[in-house]
Each structure stands twice: as structure tokens, then as C-alpha cells.
Amino acid sequence: MATAHVFIATSLDGFIARPDGDIDWLLQRDDANEDHGYADFIADKDLIVMGRGTYEKMLTLGPWTYDRPVLVLSKQLADAAVPEALQGKVRFSGSAPREVMDTLARQNVRRVYVDGGQLVQSFLRDGLVADMVITTVPVLLGSGRRLFGALSRDIDWTLLSSRSFPSGLVQSSYRQVP
Amino acid sequence: MATAHVFIATSLDGFIARPDGDIDWLLQRDDANEDHGYADFIADKDLIVMGRGTYEKMLTLGPWTYDRPVLVLSKQLADAAVPEALQGKVRFSGSAPREVMDTLARQNVRRVYVDGGQLVQSFLRDGLVADMVITTVPVLLGSGRRLFGALSRDIDWTLLSSRSFPSGLVQSSYRQVP
């Protein structure tokens, strides 16, 4: 079985980006002297899945920095060719989250990092997220793209740990209650 | 000058109540063995302001338990008589938040607890909230009444402290950056 894991930052009011996708408010508050644990988090992940929105945003941010294989879930990109510079690093798939996780398990992929708001919402709706590390940035934006979306039922979590940083970030780790 | 202070609980996805106002999900997770600090919070507050929604909800929850004067901000109730059982404990006002705070300051009220989602949003929009204690409950509801609403500008906060409880609540205190 493959498990899905979330590591994401949000504003105090639950936005991961402004309405136009802008994340400058987040980057400006990212204190390079603080270790927010991404390296530890990614160390035991085999693969990253992301949606088209996140993929296209990452393309605009300069050189590809992911050191894990990336699977982009997008019906629109499913039949497209991967750009030459990203071959061997990126694959496209048009499958739904549950199907993707089953396929990955057969490929011996065990731990998957789910990146990007829309995709996190899809994985949550399907009950596929094993745990989440949520980092809350001390700013209210008032509008934007939400981390969490509609659900057909409550989802309960066990708090694993919580810590805060001098910059004002609060980072809490949750495991889904089965 | 009077200052406004928020002490409120929210689901992980930012809801203070379900769409119909139900807060059973919150009450069920309130561990009576844990001191979440309300008594300490309220100790130095002179008065509580709440909106009509919160006031009417409180009326349904049994005997009036607030041990501070309560001012209900509601255009609809402004000219209504206060129920006999609540006279001396509750007043109604149809004024807007800033006007209310100015009036309270002239009455020598110094520290005001702002309760209820809609009213917290109004006070935030008007830049009136000095600090907030936000307690995050480890459950995703998927829908409901939001703690935070639209804003005309970002609001930055300084994290004062953060702590977690065995029940899984994470409580963070923020002061507004002037």
C-alpha cells in the first residue's frame, strides 16, 4: 500500500495563495535561518504528486529543484510530452487519486508527498491522506486559494506534535484517525 | 482607548460552526480536564460584545453564564427591550464597531472581549482587534460558518505564544502588528 502525506503552508485564514496564485506573502515571511523541516519530511518520501496548477507555477519559479520523481496528475496534460529538460524527472497521468495510489503501490512506491491545494483537497475527499504537516503563517489575507475544501463527512485527526518558530510560524503535524 | 480581544475556537479548516450553527463537534471535543485558559483570558476584560447570532445561540444553551456585562451589537435588537431575566447583564446597541469602542472608552471600559464569528470579522475589517487567541480543533468539517472573512488589506500578526493539549487542540496567541 502507498500512503499520501501533506506538507504545506497556509495563511491564518486558510489560504495557500492569493486569488491569482501569488505566494510572495509566503516567500517574504520564509526566514532562511529557520529549519521548517522540509528536508526531514521529504527524506522518506519516494515520489511527489502535484496538480497541473502547482506544476505550471513551479515551471515559472526557475530551475527544477525537486530531487524526487514528480507525477503530475492532469487530464489535460495526460497525453502531452514531458518537456525535454524534465524527462526522467517528471511524468504525467490522467488518473484519479485512488487509482494513482494503487498503481504506485504496484510500482513499489510507498510514501507519496501530495503537493498543491487542489490535489490535497482531492486526496482528502477520497480519504487518502495519512498525515499532514500544516505550517500557519501569521497573516490574514482575506481572500485567495483555499487549502481545504468541501467534504462529504468530517475527518478527524490526531495531533502528533506542534511547534512554533521565532518568525511566528506555527507548525502542527496530524495523523488521520482511521 | 478601549481595545478589542478575541478568544475563539475553530476547526482545522477555519469553521466556528456548521452551516446551521451547530457546535456539537466542538463541545464533544472539549476535554473538561484541560484548562484552555478562558478564565485567565476573561479575568482582565471589562465587557463582552457579541452579535445577535451569538446572543440568540447563547439563549438556547440554558442559563446565562457570562460574568461580565454583555453588549449585543444588532441594528435589529437596538430598540428592543432586554428580557427581564437579563436586565443589568445585557444591553443592546445598534452602533458600528468603531463607534461602540469610542463610546465604551468614554464609559471607562478598557478591554473588550469580542465574541462570535460575524462580529469578529467586522472588528477585524475595521482594524480594531488588538490580539487573538485561536484554538484549533483537529477536525475538518468541510463546510460551515467561517471564522475569518474578506478584508480590504492584509493584516499581519506577531505570534505571542503557542501551546498544544493532549486532546489535540493547538492554541496560538497573536498580537496585531500596528
Digit-coded pLDDT (tens) for B62-84: 889 898 999 999 999 999 999 99
What's the rounded mean pLDDT across residues B122-144? 97
- Per-residue pLDDT of A100-122, as tens digits, reads 999 999 999 999 999 988 999 99
CA A96 to chain centre: 16
Question: Would the ipTM clear 0.85, i.e. be above it?
Answer: yes
What's the rounded mean pLDDT across residues B133-152? 98
- Per-residue pLDDT of A70-90, as tens digits, reads 999 999 999 999 999 999 999
Residue B60 has a pLDDT of: 87
DSSP code string of B85-149: GGTTTEEEE---HHHHHHHHHHTT--EEEEESHHHHHHHHHTT-EEEEEEEEESEE-SSSEES--
Report the 10 Å Cβ neighbour count for A61.
10
Residue A50 has a pLDDT of: 96
| Percent composition of chain A: helix, strand, coil (DSSP 3-state, to 5) | 25, 35, 45
pLDDT band at B61 (very low <50, low <70, confident <90, very high): confident
Residue A9 has a pLDDT of: 97
> Cβ of A168 and B150 within 8 Å?
no
Place domain A3-176 in its CATH homologous superfamily: Dihydrofolate Reductase, subunit A (3.40.430.10)
Which of A65-69, A138-142, A157-161 comes out lowest in average pLDDT? Answer: A65-69
Chain B residues with CB under 8 Å of A150 CB are 142-143
**Percentage of residues of chain B with pLDDT beyond 90:** 88
- Residue of A109, A123, A122, A119 lying closest to A69 (CA atoms): A109
- Residue of A52, A65, A25, A59 lying closest to A122 (CA atoms): A52
pLDDT at B48 over 90: yes
Residue A116 has a pLDDT of: 87
* Phi-psi domain of A64 (left: phi exceeds 0; alpha: psi -120 through 50; beta: other): beta
Report the 10 Å Cβ neighbour count for B119.
23
Handedness of CA A144, A150, A49, A115 (dihedral sign): positive
User: Residue A61, SS3?
Assistant: coil
**Which of A13, A155, A159 lies nearest to residue B170, judging by beta carbons?**
A159
Task: Give A173's contacts (C-beta < 8 A, 6+ positions apart).
Answer: A131, A132, A133, A134, A159, A160, A161, A162
Report the 10 Å Cβ neighbour count for B113.
22
Most B CBs within 10 Å, among A18, A122, A143, A156, to test the B interface: A156
| pTM of the shown model | 0.95
**Which of B155, B168, B172 lies nearest to residue A159, judging by beta carbons?**
B168
> Cβ of A141 and B154 within 8 Å?
yes
Measured between CB atoms, does A159 come within 8 Å of chain B? yes
How far apart are the C-alpha atoms of A45 and B62, rounded to whole Å?
51
Measured between CB atoms, does B156 come within 8 Å of chain A? yes
- Per-residue pLDDT of A17-65, as tens digits, reads 999 989 999 999 988 899 999 999 999 999 999 999 889 988 988 889 8
* A140: closest chain B residue by CA: B155
